[in-house]
Structure 1
Amino acid sequence: MTATTERTKYDIKDPSLATQGKQRIDWAGREMPVLRLIQERFAKEKPLAGIRLVACCHVTTETAHLAIALKAAGADGILIASNPLSTQDDVAASLVVDHGIPVFAIKGEDTETYLRHVETALDHRPNIIIDDGSDVVATLVKNRQHQLSDLIGTTEETTTGIVRLRAMLNDGVLTFPAMNVNDADTKHFFDNRYGTGQSTLDGIIRATNILLAGKNIVVAGYGWCGKGCALRARGMGANVIVTEVDPVRAIEAVMDGFRVMPMEQAAAIGDLFITVTGNKHVIRSEHFDVMKDGAMVCNSGHFDIEIDLKSLKEKSTEVKEVRNFTQQYKLQSGKSVIVLGEGRLINLAAAEGHPSAVMDMSFANQALACEYLVKNKGKLEPGMYSIPADVDQEIARLKLKAMGINLDTLTPEQIEYTNSWASGT
C-alpha cells in the first residue's frame, strides 16, 4: 500500500498492522540492551544531527531498534528492504505509524518494486548508507555519480556486500570510505555463526516440518555462517557434509569432525542442501541431475544466486507450491527437487531471522560505525575500514555486563610482564 501522511511518505503493505508490529518490536528489545544503551547516549548527544541516512536492511524487529536508535541520534533517515522476502510487514507499519520513520518495504515485493525503492532511497541524497548487499551503493556508483559528493561513507555487514565493495575497490570506483562491519569480532563470530546457524535451521523446519536427525545435510561453504549451520545441524542429529573451495577451511571442517567432498559427489548423497558461500551457482545443473528424488535445497547467503534456479526450471515439467515457501520442481526424469524460500534467505523468508540477542551486537556495530564516519568526515581516505578495536571491545564488554558476567582483570605484575621483553624462563 502506498500512501502519504503528514508525518512521512512510505510504501508498506498495511498501516493497520502497526499494533502487532509494536508488540513484537518491544519483545525483541528485551534482548537488545547494548543497542538500547547506545540509543540513550545518542538521544543526548545527537551525533548524527543533520545527516541524511539511508538504511537498506532486512526489515525485522531487530532492525527496527537500529532505525529508532539512528533517529534518536538526529539522523534524517529512511529504511528500505534489502531482500524481497525478508520484510516483516507489521514491523514496517509500526515504524511508520509509531515512530514516523519512512519505510519502503513490502514482503514479497517484485523486482520492479525493489529497484524503485532503491531509487527512492537515492532520491534522499544520502550522506551515510547502511547497505546489506551493497545494492544501493552499487546503483549510486553506476548511475548517480553526481551524488557521490554528498556521501560521507557507507557501512556493510554482509559477506556478499563486502565482496562487492572489495571488487569496487580493486576496480578503482570505491571513492569513499566503507566500514567493514561484517569483519568486526562482535559481528561475525556471533551473528554469522550463532545467528545464521540457529535461524537457518529454524527457517527450514518452519517451511518443511521435517526431522533433521538422521538426514544427510550438505553445507556449501565453511565460513562463519557455514560453521554455524554445520554445528547446529549436527546438534540436531544430522550427518553433515561440507563442500569447500578453500583448502584451509576444508581442513578445519575435517578436524571439526565433518566429511568434506566436492559438491558433485555430495549431490548424490544429500537429503538437504544449504548454501552459504556468497558466490554464484554453487548448486547447478549437473548437481540437480544426480540428486535423490525429493532432495531439498535452500540458501542462507544474501542473494538468490547460489542455487541455479534457471537451469532447474529448464529441467522441470512442473513447478508447484506444496507448502508455504516450499516449491516442488518435477524434473523430466521423473524425480523432484524441493526448493525452499525461492532460493532466497531461508531464515528470513520462512522464519524471523537471527535472534535479537545476537543482532544486538551487530546493530551496535552499525550504529557506532555511522557515528565514526561522521566524526571522521574528511579525515578518511577512500577505501575499506575495520571497526576500531576499542569499539569492538566495548560492545563485548557491554554485552557481558548485560548478561551479568564479570571478567578477571590483570594485576599490576601481569601488566608489567606483558609490557616487558626482559623477563623469560
Structure 2
Amino acid sequence: MMTTSLQLKYDIKDIALAPQGKQRIEWAGREMPVLRLIQERFAQEKPFAGIRLAACCHVTTETAHLAIALKNGGADAVLIASNPLSTQDDVAASLVADYGIPVFAIKGEDNDTYHRHVQTALDHRPNIIIDDGSDVVATLVQERKHQLADLLGTTEETTTGIVRLKAMFRDGVLSFPAMNVNDADTKHFFDNRYGTGQSTLDGIIRATNILLAGKNMVVAGYGWCGKGTALRARGMGANVIVTEIDPVRAIEAVMDGFRVMPMAQAAAVGDIFVTVTGNKHVIRREHFETMKDGAIVCNSGHFDIEIDLKSLKEMSSEVKQVRNFTEQYRLQSGKSVIVLGEGRLVNLAAAEGHPSAVMDMSFANQALACEYLVKNKGSLEPGIHSIPTEVDQEIARLKLVAMGIELDTLTAEQEIYINSWTAGT
C-alpha cells in the first residue's frame, strides 16, 4: 500500500524492518571501498544538485550504497525494483526510514504492481534513468514521449538492457544518450563472471540444499555470466555441459574443458540446468519431455522468459511448492521437473545477489556514468556510449588500493620503447 511518512511517499512491505536493513547495509559497506570514496566526493561536490533521478535496480544492500551516494551528491532520487523477486524488504525499509530515499519495491510483487512502480518512477519526471533491463526506458519511449525533453540520458548495466537499447537505436527511437555500463571492463569482467558465478550457485544451494559434486550441470550460454557459472560449478565438482549458438563461444567452452552440445541432447543427461542467455524459451516443451525425473531448472539471465514455464504448466498435472522458492511440476507422464525462483533470477530470488565486493565496481561505474551525463549535458549525441577508459582504469586502481595490491610502473626507457615505432627488436 502507498503510504506517506514525513512527507515521503513509498510502497514497501513493512517500515518496521528498517533496523535489520540498516545493519545489513552497513555490513555490505565494509566491502565497498570504491563506492565509499565516490560517495564522500559526491557529498562535497554535489554533482547532481537539481537533478531528478529514477533508478530501477535490484533493491539489495549493495544497491543501497549506490542510492545513498546519489542522494549525497544532491540527486532527487526514487528507487524501484527491476525484478519482482529481487527486493530485500528490510533494505527497502531502511532506505526509506534511515536515509530518506523513496522506494517502491516489494519482494514478490505481482506484475501489475511492478508496472505501476515503473509508472511511478516516470511520474518523477527523471532527468537521468538508471535501468536494469531497460523496462523504464522502453516505457518512457513507448508511452511518455512528452517527457523525453526532460531526459539527459540513461545508464544500463545488463546485457539484456543493452540488447534492447541497440534495438531502439536501430529503430530510430533512441533520441538520447545511453551509457553502456554493462560493457565496462570493471563491470562485466568481474560482476558477470565472478558475481554471477558465485551467486547463482548460492541461490541453487539455498533453494535445494543439494550436493553439486558429481551432478551434470547444463549451462545455457557461454557469455561472461555463463563462463562464471560454469567455472564455479566445476570448482564445486559438477560435470559441466555448455549449450551455445555462437561458434566462437562454443570453441572457447570446449578449450576451457567443458562439453558442448545442443540443448536437445543435454536435456536428457542434465541434473541441473541454468539459463544465462537473455533470450526467450531456451528450455522449452521438447526439452522438458526428455529430462530426467527430478531435473532442476533455473535462470540466472534476466527476465523470466528463458524457461518456457507456460508450456511446462500445460504439461503438468500438479504444481506444488516443496521448499522456499522451489516448485515441483509433476508431469502427466509421472516424472517431475523442479523450478527454482519461479524462473526469475535465482541468485536474487533464492539468495542475496552478487557479493558486495564485486558490486562495488559495478555501482562505481553507475555512479560515475551518471556524473558523466551531467558533466556532458548537451554535448553527447543520441545513442549508446561506452564508459570512458580513464574511468574504468580509475575504478580498477581504487579497488587495488583498497585491496592493498601494488602495481609495477614503466621505467622512462620502457615508456619511450612502448610508444616508439622505430625501436623494433
TM-score for both structures, normalised by structure 1: 1.00
Specify the alignment match of 1:89 in structure 2: 89
Specify the alignment match of 1:278 in structure 2: 278
Quick one: which amino acid aligns to residue 160 of structure 1?
Answer: T
Task: Please state how far the C-alpha of 1:213 moved relative to its aligned partner.
Answer: 0.1
Q: Superposition pairs for residues 17-416 of structure 1, below 5 Å?
A: 17-416=17-416
Q: How many residues align?
A: 425
State how far apart, in whole Å, the 2-side matches of 1:206 and 1:340 are.
10
Q: Deviations over 1:26-78 (max 9, x none)?
A: 00000000000000000000001100000000000000000000001100000
State how far apart, in whole Å, the 2-side matches of 1:77 and 1:40 are.
18
The question of whether the paired residues in 2 share the 8 Å contact of 1:158 and 1:182 is answered with yes
Quick one: which amino acid aligns to residue 288 of structure 2?
Answer: F
SS of the aligned residue for 1:348 comes to helix
Which runs of structure 1 show a deviation greater than 2 angstroms over 4 or more consecutive aligned residues?
none
Please list every run of 5 or more consecutive structure 1 residues that lacks an aligned counterpart in the other structure: none
Task: Please state how far the C-alpha of 1:7 moved relative to its aligned partner.
Answer: 4.1
Q: Deviations over 1:337-372 (max 9, x none)?
A: 000000000000000000000000000000000000
Task: Please state how far the C-alpha of 1:181 moved relative to its aligned partner.
Answer: 0.2
Quick one: which amino acid aligns to residue 354 of structure 1?
Answer: H
State how far apart, in whole Å, the 1-side matches of 2:329 and 2:419 are.
63
The question of whether the paired residues in 2 share the 8 Å contact of 1:327 and 1:340 is answered with yes
RMSD after superposition:
0.5
Quick one: which amino acid aligns to residue 358 of structure 2?
Answer: V
State how far apart, in whole Å, the 2-side matches of 1:341 and 1:64 are.
23
State how far apart, in whole Å, the 2-side matches of 1:270 and 1:5 are.
51
State how far apart, in whole Å, the 1-side matches of 2:175 and 2:364 are.
26
Task: Please state how far the C-alpha of 1:302 moved relative to its aligned partner.
Answer: 1.1
Quick one: which amino acid aligns to residue 78 of structure 1?
Answer: V
Task: Please state how far the C-alpha of 1:5 moved relative to its aligned partner.
Answer: 1.3
State how far apart, in whole Å, the 2-side matches of 1:130 and 1:424 are.
47
Task: Please state how far the C-alpha of 1:2 moved relative to its aligned partner.
Answer: 2.6
State how far apart, in whole Å, the 2-side matches of 1:3 and 1:16 are.
13
State how far apart, in whole Å, the 2-side matches of 1:27 and 1:180 are.
29
Task: Please state how far the C-alpha of 1:424 moved relative to its aligned partner.
Answer: 1.4
Residue 14, structure 1, aligned to residue 14, structure 2? yes
Task: Please state how far the C-alpha of 1:129 moved relative to its aligned partner.
Answer: 0.1
State how far apart, in whole Å, the 2-side matches of 1:103 and 1:26 are.
18
State how far apart, in whole Å, the 1-side matches of 2:73 and 2:2 are.
27
State how far apart, in whole Å, the 2-side matches of 1:148 and 1:301 are.
29
Specify the alignment match of 1:419 in structure 2: 419
State how far apart, in whole Å, the 1-side matches of 2:406 and 2:38 are.
20
SS of the aligned residue for 1:322 comes to strand
Quick one: which amino acid aligns to residue 297 of structure 1?
Answer: V
SS of the aligned residue for 2:404 comes to coil
State how far apart, in whole Å, the 2-side matches of 1:180 and 1:343 are.
26
Q: Deviations over 1:114-165 (max 9, x none)?
A: 0000000000000000000000000000000000000000000011101100
State how far apart, in whole Å, the 2-side matches of 1:162 and 1:191 are.
16
SS of the aligned residue for 1:212 comes to coil
TM-score for both structures, normalised by structure 2: 1.00
The question of whether the paired residues in 2 share the 8 Å contact of 1:12 and 1:93 is answered with yes
Please list every run of 5 or more consecutive structure 2 residues that lacks an aligned counterpart in the other structure: none
SS of the aligned residue for 1:268 comes to helix
The question of whether the paired residues in 2 share the 8 Å contact of 1:7 and 1:100 is answered with no
State how far apart, in whole Å, the 1-side matches of 2:258 and 2:208 are.
24
Q: Deviations over 1:167-196 (max 9, x none)?
A: 101111100000000000000000000000
The question of whether the paired residues in 2 share the 8 Å contact of 1:178 and 1:384 is answered with yes
Task: Please state how far the C-alpha of 1:273 moved relative to its aligned partner.
Answer: 0.1
State how far apart, in whole Å, the 1-side matches of 2:324 and 2:40 are.
40
The question of whether the paired residues in 2 share the 8 Å contact of 1:316 and 1:330 is answered with yes
The question of whether the paired residues in 2 share the 8 Å contact of 1:267 and 1:290 is answered with yes
